[in-house]
Structure 1
Amino acid sequence: MAPQIRWRSPQGRRTVAKIVQKEIPQWPNGLYPEQEDVVTRVLDGEDVFCCLTTGGGKSAMFAVPIIVLREMARNPDSYPNLPIRALPIGLVINSDQGISRKHTEIQECKTWNIICVDPEHLRDKAWRQITDFDTFRTNITFGCVDEAHLIDEWGAAFSALLFDTSVNSSAVVFPPLPPFSPSLPQVSPASRPTQICKSLGMSGDDFYLLQCSNERPNTQFIMEPLDHGLGGKEFPSLLRYLNSGRKAVVHVRRIDEVFRVFMYLFNSLPEGMDRLRRIKMYHSLRSFEANEEILRLLDEDPRCQVVIATIAIANGINIRSLLDSITLGFPESVNQAWQEKGRVGRDPNTIARGVILFQRSAQSDARKQLAVLQPLESPPAVPHINPQTGKSKRKKTVKPMEHNKALMLVEEHCYIALWSTIYQNPPLELSTRDCIIAKRRFPCSLCQARAKMKLTFPPSPLPPGLVLPPFHPPTTNQSPPLSADQKKLKLKKKERAEAETTLTVFGDNVRLTERKRSINQRRPRSSFFPSTILKLVLDNLLSIKSLDDLTNHVESWAFVSEHVASLHSAIVKLQRRFEAAREEARLAKNAKQRATRRRWSKKAKHEWDSDEESGEEEEEEEEVEPEPEADAEADDESSADEVNHHPPSSPVPPPAKRAKTALAEVTNRSRPMKKKPEKQETAAAVAATFRPAYKTSRRRAAGQ
């Protein structure tokens, strides 16, 4: 006889509330009204499409039906006139691959009551065997698609696989928010769930649509421009939020960004092991167990504050201690952005922040796209043919930005009102107003700045006595230039290596000597001559002039009183050895420079002599000019006297030899010819220029 009572009836609702109170004592208030409505419809076999915010209790909607049916199967007499399943099974399709390979246990319906499988495994032959097994097909209660906004990524064949799997069962679809696919940006959010329902076979009035607002009343939404790029190694915009002491997740797009952000934050903290406990990385290259351990530490360890993660942490993560979600760069879509902000504020009693640090270039591109109303599907580019070459040049097509993302980047009034307009959050007459008029508890960053409000965000709770050091921008390691005297006191690379080897042997000798004492038998080996003391001695080795000077440098050493004298002796030996080696190297360098100078001097002298010889040979080959005839002997005598009193000037030196250009002798160029020297005047002609213009001596002789 068929049962006469439906689960949606008052008796059915009371039965669900009674079982929930019995099986889940952690929920003293039971289910939310919308959760109870969906659970009863699923138990009645109806198709449901549910749109809730992240953390709105979607998991309970497909877990509670199995809990109710299991309790009824154990005590069938306590719940008469209600449908019962002996081995209730629920199929949840999401990105989890935890038990998707346990084929035998799944098809027998004895080990698990809720099966989570990823879409890829629905194509496997083993899963075809599971769905064809009579026991599994008879007891399956519902098929659920969790995170339905990913259906577009799963492909068109997914719907047929789902239909074949969920025969004779209700279908439940749980997107985290009203889907608004990046591939269909001009479709209104109100019609987008209808399109997904049609792709899943839900049409008309054959299914129940539950759409709730995805606003998060305990979360402030903030958007700020970045003061730096995302391709570098410095991210100072994060420090202001992380120094508030709140547990935070930093969302980035690529794994290399995860590492760069991690290293920047690592160097921003003081040295110590706490740095590795305070900052963690979460990405797909880590094992599933390692990522799960990071989430556990983030939730339980008060010293674990920051997790840098890729998109892998954006779906299906429930960490109630997370308070801040910080995204570097605006995500590819508004769906992804709101999904990331849904990781925080899971506890309604906490105050959360959702921060997006976007690039100014992205905001500029959004303005350009909205200014020209560029369609999302650009027409094919027409090839341009160059008339000279005859070759076509196709312009590079730029991938357009999602329309709603562009709207968010250029918004200047209220971010939350724009979110509600995009997702059609009910009631529209209130949700589409700005935060001040809507009297939201935590206004967005635009409304806060406009109203000049000041909000306080308390840090995450810490145990008594625990204080987390703040983040400081890492200082650069560029030291000021050293003077000449400071350079002399600095060890060279080879000298430092030699000194380190000698001092390491000295430390081993200290350990061999001191470990014989009972008080030092359990002392670690590295503590006898610590690396900090070794580095300090190496840095000041050449500047240590006395035993007292050395004692002042190593006063923190545990064995300074017993071994400082022997350490000073070892340092003096090293100083003498290095000084002798440097002096020998200086003398060798000077000798080498002198030899080089002598070699170049001989070469230059040889070239000069060869140039003079060639000039003299050319002078001998020149024709000798005839001397002018003398008119009188007196004139000849006076000229001869004046020549003797005025010796001829020294010959003009030949021009300098042209320097050879590089590779002049090995190229095919013809060598330039040497310019022929100009004809020089004779000694008599030069002497004549010193003769006076009048003949005083002859007149004086004639007068006498």
Structure 2
Amino acid sequence: MSDATITAAAPLTSWISDPRGRQLAKKIICEKFPQWPDGPRDFQLDSWLRVLDGVDQLDIVPTGGGKTALFYGPVVIAQYLSQTPIPGVKPLPRKPVCLVVIPLVELGNNHVSEMSQLGIRAISLSAETIRQATDEKRNIFREVRRCEWPVVMLSPERLTSADVDEILRDSTFLRNVIMLGFDEVHIMVPWGLQFRPDYHQMASVHSRLPGVPITAVSASIMPATDLTKICRLLNWKEGEYYCLRLSNERPNIRTVLQELTHGLGGFSFPDVSRAVLPGQKVVIYCGTIDLGFRVAMYLWSLLEPGRHRLKKVRLWNSLTSAEHNKTTLQLFREDPHTTAIVATIAFGMGINIRNIHTIMNLGVPSSLNDTVQQEGRAGRDGTQALGITLVERSVLAAIRKVWPAEKLFGFHPPIVVPRPRAKGKGKSKAEKAAEKAAEKAASGIMQKPIDILADRFESGLLSLLIAFVEGRCLVQVKNQQYGNDQLDGGSAGAALSCIDAGRPLPCSSCQPFWEAPCPRLPPAGFPIMANANDLAGLPSKGLFGPSGPHALLKDMQEHAMKHLDAFARSHWRQIGGPQQLYLPADVYWNSTTYTSLLDNFHLLRSPDAIATTLSTWNHLDDRLDLFELLEKLNRRFDARHIKKRVITARKTKATREKNKKSKEEGSFNFC
């Protein structure tokens, strides 16, 4: 249908409900962006039409799903119609502007770069761009006020500043604003409460833009908790806004939870050492700048000395400059030798690099939303990717301590109430706490174990961690938390485990991660087990527990090193030639191979796993012999771990029975 079908006699009264409006908008976008061979996606087109109709909306779209286009699509359509008026179509502003509130400066810079490549004028009002404009003797705020920038990115603090207040008072600017956008709107609630109170002023700012619709987007909003709080902050009432919810499950990303084999307070992090292997493209998320710097130092120490190490492993946090970050993105995209970025959450939202193959969270993120956002950086080119969260032992110990232990060992953990002294003066704080706990126990209001966990962990994250401890499907739990299993027309498998749903990349609970420990993509022909028949005959995960095989203890590692040294001497003698005569057997392993071998010893359960993990080893032809040695030693080490686990369970059970007996005999007398 051509433009002529919309006439003054048959005007377009609604973009979203009139098929002619949809066809016209799609035609405009296809002409503007010929590089989109299939045109815009249906949800993008619907969102743009709602903006043109003045409808407030919340769009929940998966990471990598094309959310950025929701901000510039209405501007492109409005620009076309202002230059090419069509009879029957309500006139739109001559210089349409979209204001977008962003949580991070780098997110705005990334969006501006993406739009610039599409020929769209966009600017991020950050301290850097303002300083640059000042150096060029330009008044950037006057340019925004005159509507010279169709898309303006700015932080909530900038939006509530005096400079922008002057812009919001300008009648010319107000006539041309067609949308107020909020990117990554899920952080509005927690960040607004914790350290960015200006997020709580967004409804007030919107009230200064009469008739301007809001478009709020995110990939991670839980319907049970986040949605109500966001609506309250934006002053939305039920029925006054449209909510689009698409499934945020990413089938091309394998979700992996793995227990850390070391702490986070030192300078050695062997669980992430694989990030420096050739061919990797890994982003390692750290909770603090300090931890990130120590991780980067560790990874640099694994590489050959020289300045080239600073290119192979890059840092990204709030202290790295914009120029440094720009170089990091360029190296990561174009240089095959740049294998890792060690980052904080500053890299987490909206950064669009298409060749990230692996995400590693070193330590548990603060929420399930952060976990999903950070995993969502991977696999944006459509290839298979990994999202790995390395969970601290202290976190798992806290959960196992209070979560019903019959699911793990067949008995309840004791909740011991200390016996207080008689009431009187001179009691210590501990004695007063014991007295208070005793009174609660006597009145039946003792805090439940699950409440103790809820005080420490965000609810969605706690559900994921409990599923990990119990060995339940991780993807299934995430789908339940985000309501993916309740969507109309959604995937029927969202409510099922990976095996039952036939997911091509099962999570680490459904397919034990130690069967494929290396985070790089499997080589051609490497089997990916996707159903119960494929899993038959593999080691039972009950043998190890949901966390997988345990890392080697210190004495086990020393024992393994002796066997590896003997293995090297034996095979080095078979090489022959001058190198065997004049070089020591130690060169049989290079330093990186030997370190990777010891760090991943407990995970190497197949010849293919050895070939993948030790890809730089010069003697891969000997991997079958090495596998026989590792299999024999791992079997021995597994038996020791199981024995230790049984002894611990027996001791805990004995303690429970002793405490129960003491309680029955009246040990806890509160009279």
Normalising by the smaller structure, the TM-score range is 0.5 to 0.7
Q: Which moved more, 1:362-371 or 1:319-328?
A: 362-371
Indicate how the Cα distance of structure 1 residues 369 and 166 shifts in structure 2: closer, same or farther if over 3 A, else same: farther
Q: Which residue of 1 aligns with 2:537?
A: none
Aligned-pair CA distance for 1:452: 7.1
Indicate how the Cα distance of structure 1 residues 18 and 161 shifts in structure 2: closer, same or farther if over 3 A, else same: same
Aligned-pair CA distance for 1:339: 0.8
Q: Determine the C-alpha separation between the residues in 2 that align with 1:148 and 1:104.
A: 28
Match of 2:463, SS? helix
Q: Does 1:305 align with 2:305?
A: no
Q: Which residue of 2 aligns with 1:351?
A: 384
Question: Are 2:61 and 2:218, in contact at CA under 8 Å, matched by a contact in 1?
Answer: yes
- Equivalences for residues 142-291 of structure 1 within 5 A: 142-152=179-189, 153-154=191-192, 155=197, 157-179=200-222, 189-190=223-224, 192-240=226-274, 242-243=276-277, 245-291=279-325
Aligned-pair CA distance for 1:96: 4.5
Q: 1:413 aligns with which of 434, 459, 472?
A: 472
Q: Which residue of 2 aligns with 1:56?
A: 65
Question: Are 1:247 and 1:323, in contact at CA under 8 Å, matched by a contact in 2?
Answer: yes
Question: Are 1:328 and 1:358, in contact at CA under 8 Å, matched by a contact in 2?
Answer: yes
Q: Which moved more, 1:37-46 or 1:363-372?
A: 363-372
Query: Which runs of 5 or more structure 1 residues have no equivalent in the other structure?
Result: 180-188, 373-382, 462-704
Question: Are 1:246 and 1:460, in contact at CA under 8 Å, matched by a contact in 2?
Answer: no
- Equivalences for residues 192-591 of structure 1 within 5 A: 192-240=226-274, 242-243=276-277, 245-348=279-382, 350-371=383-404, 387=424, 389=426, 400-411=456-467, 412-425=471-484, 426=487, 427=490, 430-449=493-512, 457-458=520-521
Q: Determine the C-alpha separation between the residues in 2 that align with 1:406 and 1:191.
A: 14
Amino acid at match of 1:292: K
Q: Determine the C-alpha separation between the residues in 1 that align with 2:522 and 2:22.
A: 41
Question: Are 1:4 and 1:81, in contact at CA under 8 Å, matched by a contact in 2?
Answer: yes
Q: Determine the C-alpha separation between the residues in 2 that align with 1:456 and 1:289.
A: 29
Q: Determine the C-alpha separation between the residues in 1 that align with 2:233 and 2:248.
A: 23
Aligned-pair CA distance for 1:391: 6.1
Q: Does 1:65 align with 2:108?
A: no
Q: Determine the C-alpha separation between the residues in 1 that align with 2:78 and 2:460.
A: 43
Match of 1:35, SS? helix
Aligned-pair CA distance for 1:342: 0.6
Q: Determine the C-alpha separation between the residues in 2 that align with 1:267 and 1:75.
A: 61
Amino acid at match of 1:163: H
Q: Does 1:87 align with 2:95?
A: yes
Match of 2:254, SS? strand
Question: Are 2:357 and 2:520, in contact at CA under 8 Å, matched by a contact in 1?
Answer: no
Deviations 1:244-276 (A, max 9, x none): 622110000111111111111111112234322
Aligned-pair CA distance for 1:353: 0.6
Q: Which residue of 1 aligns with 2:645?
A: none
Indicate how the Cα distance of structure 1 residues 319 and 460 shifts in structure 2: closer, same or farther if over 3 A, else same: farther
Q: 1:108 aligns with which of 146, 159, 162?
A: 146
Q: Determine the C-alpha separation between the residues in 2 that align with 1:112 and 1:323.
A: 35
Match of 2:179, SS? strand
> How many corresponding residue pairs?
439
Q: Determine the C-alpha separation between the residues in 1 that align with 2:390 and 2:225.
A: 31
Question: Are 1:385 and 1:392, in contact at CA under 8 Å, matched by a contact in 2?
Answer: no
Deviations 1:436-472 (A, max 9, x none): 11111211111112997899953899xxxxxxxxxxx
Query: Which runs of 5 or more structure 2 residues have no equivalent in the other structure?
Result: 1-7, 106-123, 131-139, 406-419, 435-451, 525-671
Aligned-pair CA distance for 1:24: 1.1
Aligned-pair CA distance for 1:67: 0.9
Q: Determine the C-alpha separation between the residues in 1 that align with 2:212 and 2:523.
A: 45
Q: Which residue of 2 aligns with 1:40?
A: 49
Q: Which residue of 2 aligns with 1:134?
A: 171
Question: Are 1:91 and 1:116, in contact at CA under 8 Å, matched by a contact in 2?
Answer: yes
Aligned-pair CA distance for 1:324: 0.6
Deviations 1:20-72 (A, max 9, x none): 11111221111111111111111111111111111111110111110111122
Indicate how the Cα distance of structure 1 residues 73 and 333 shifts in structure 2: closer, same or farther if over 3 A, else same: same
Q: 1:29 aligns with which of 16, 32, 38?
A: 38
Match of 1:448, SS? coil
Indicate how the Cα distance of structure 1 residues 292 and 15 shifts in structure 2: closer, same or farther if over 3 A, else same: same
Amino acid at match of 2:503: R
Question: Are 2:63 and 2:377, in contact at CA under 8 Å, matched by a contact in 1?
Answer: yes
Match of 1:203, SS? coil
Question: Are 1:122 and 1:161, in contact at CA under 8 Å, matched by a contact in 2?
Answer: no
Q: Determine the C-alpha separation between the residues in 1 that align with 2:98 and 2:224.
A: 29
Amino acid at match of 2:209: S
Q: Which residue of 2 aligns with 1:124?
A: 161
Question: Are 2:279 and 2:336, in contact at CA under 8 Å, matched by a contact in 1?
Answer: no
Aligned-pair CA distance for 1:122: 2.5
Amino acid at match of 1:124: S
Aligned-pair CA distance for 1:387: 4.0
Q: Which residue of 1 aligns with 2:555?
A: none
Match of 1:249, SS? strand
Q: Determine the C-alpha separation between the residues in 2 that align with 1:403 and 1:20.
A: 41
The RMSD of aligned alpha carbons is 3.0
Q: Does 1:20 align with 2:29?
A: yes
Match of 2:142, SS? helix
TM-score by length of 2: 0.61
Aligned-pair CA distance for 1:125: 1.6
Flag the structure with higher helix content.
2
Question: Are 2:259 and 2:391, in contact at CA under 8 Å, matched by a contact in 1?
Answer: yes
Q: Which residue of 2 aligns with 1:7?
A: 15
Match of 1:446, SS? coil
Indicate how the Cα distance of structure 1 residues 277 and 385 shifts in structure 2: closer, same or farther if over 3 A, else same: farther
Aligned-pair CA distance for 1:19: 1.4
Q: Determine the C-alpha separation between the residues in 1 that align with 2:254 and 2:212.
A: 41
Indicate how the Cα distance of structure 1 residues 260 and 451 shifts in structure 2: closer, same or farther if over 3 A, else same: closer
Indicate how the Cα distance of structure 1 residues 359 and 385 shifts in structure 2: closer, same or farther if over 3 A, else same: farther
Match of 1:318, SS? coil
Q: Which residue of 2 aligns with 1:643?
A: none
Amino acid at match of 1:366: I
Amino acid at match of 2:498: C
Amino acid at match of 1:434: S
Aligned-pair CA distance for 1:308: 0.3
Match of 1:447, SS? coil
Q: Determine the C-alpha separation between the residues in 1 that align with 2:208 and 2:402.
A: 44
Match of 1:440, SS? coil
Amino acid at match of 2:181: C
Identity %: 32
Amino acid at match of 1:144: G
Match of 1:260, SS? helix
Aligned-pair CA distance for 1:388: 5.5
Match of 1:420, SS? helix
Indicate how the Cα distance of structure 1 residues 452 and 227 shifts in structure 2: closer, same or farther if over 3 A, else same: closer
Q: Determine the C-alpha separation between the residues in 1 that align with 2:306 and 2:428.
A: 63
Deviations 1:150-186 (A, max 9, x none): 111224732333323432211111022224xxxxxxx
Question: Are 2:386 and 2:519, in contact at CA under 8 Å, matched by a contact in 1?
Answer: no
